[in-house]
Structure formats: structure tokens, C-alpha cells
Amino acid sequence: MPTPDSYKMGPGTLKFDTGLATVASIQVVSAEIVASEQVETEDDVDVLTGDTLYGDETITFEWVLSATILQAIGSSGFVTWSWTNAGQTKDFEFIPNTVAARKITGTVKVVPIKIGGASKSRPQSDFSWRLPRGTAPALGAVV
């Protein structure tokens, strides 16, 4: 009987930018890449015989890289990097677990990460960055 296969999140990495020089990993509480299915259906056509010509379906996927991070607003912090690079498309590499030796790579459109939170707390921010329309991330081996 086969045994279930699974992995634990971490230790891993989340990196951005040319040469993947910007490392967000130390601030990441959770991260995921998520696809949502978009279905467009053409109208059906009824014909004289009473039959129906069914409209074609076009299925596409929209991808989002989402994470929760601890805020760090120093000049070299990841939040500051997101403000500096707002609106730009940047490469990313997400390795959920280094032992599993798998990575997800692609590009995302950077949106500034929120700053602030409750008094006397360690503020966290959630962000969701879309991959450019018509692109998909690649799942591959860590080499």
C-alpha cells in the first residue's frame, strides 16, 4: 500500500528581482502561489432541426503570489523594496521547502506593501501580487 506524500513548509526561500538579489525569506510568515480558473463560454446556437450547437469554452488561469510578512521598513527592508519598485514587473523564485528541491519561478507586478498596524505589535502585511496576464509560473527542480 502506498504511503502518503507530503512536505512541511520551510525551510525555504522567497527571492525577487534581477539575479534574485532581493531576499524576502527572513520576513515571510506564509507564502503560496494560487491559480484561479477563468471560463469564457460562447453562446449556444439553436438550429432549425431542434439541435443545439454548443458554444466553445475557453479556459485560462490567473496566477497570484500571496504572502504574509513581518514588516521591516529599514532602507534595505522588503517593504521599502516594494515601494521603490511599485508597478514594475520583477522575477521571483519561491522554494517552499529546500529539502523537497522544487521551486516555482515567474514574474509578478509589484504593488507597495502596507505599513503600520496595532500599537505595541509586530506588524504583519498580507500581499497578493498578480503574474502578468497570459503568463504562468514554472514548477521545476532546484539545481
DSSP alpha helix (H) spans, 23-85:
78-84
pTM of the model: 0.83
Of the chain, the percentage scoring pLDDT greater than 90 comes to 73
* pLDDT tier for residue 6 given thresholds of 50, 70 and 90: confident
The pLDDT, as a whole number, for residue 135 is 93
The pLDDT, as a whole number, for residue 17 is 86
Spacing of C-alpha 121 from chain mean position: 27
**In the predicted structure, residue 99 carries a pLDDT above the cut 90:** no
Q: Which residue has the cell 485560462?
A: 60
| pLDDT 10s digits, 7-41 | 888 899 999 987 776 778 889 999 999 999 989 99
Contacts 24+ apart (CB under 8 A), 20-23: 20/91, 20/92, 20/93, 22/78, 22/81, 22/90
Spacing of C-alpha 129 from chain mean position: 6
DSSP alpha helix (H) spans, 4-136:
78-84
* pLDDT tier for residue 143 given thresholds of 50, 70 and 90: confident
